[in-house]
Structures are given as C-alpha cells and as structure tokens.
A = this chain, B = another copy of it.
C-alpha cells in the first residue's frame, strides 16, 4: 500500500467525540518520525529555514486522514 503523501504516522486511537456530521478523534503518536512540509520558496526564505533550526509544525485536524491497514 503506497500513498502519494510525504507524511504517515503510526498512531493509536485515544478518544472519539461525535456530532451527527463531524467527529474529532484523538490519537497517540509514540514513535519519532520524519515530517515534510511543502510551502512557497518565499516562505522558506522569510522563515530562513536551515538544517538544525527548531520550529513548530502546525496542522489543522481536518487535514489528518486516518487509514486502517
């Protein structure tokens, strides 16, 4: 199974909260991981990103796609 996405994290479900239409699911991610971001080269220059730099990676929950093997 292969995905056209750079980020795939192993995770365990912790909780599920549901409205009729939408749900919020929380997961524990236990294993160190590589993450990738695609952004404009202008943004890379504004942030002046260089190997070794510390950042935070912000991801809206709506963009996280759970997949079951």
CB of B14 within 8 A of CB of A51, answer yes
How many copies altogether? 6
In chain A between 40 and 65, which residues have their CB closer than 8 angstroms to a CB of chain B? 40-44, 46-47, 49-65
Q: What 16 new A-B contacts, CB under 8 Å, besides A2-B46, A24-B36, A39-B65?
A: A4-B37, A7-B64, A13-B52, A14-B51, A15-B51, A18-B44, A21-B40, A24-B38, A26-B35, A28-B35, A31-B32, A37-B61, A47-B68, A57-B64, A58-B64, A58-B66
Partner of A58, one of B7, B18, B41: B7
Q: Are B47 and A36 in contact (CB under 8 A)?
A: no
Q: A58: shortest Cβ distance to chain B, in Å?
A: 4
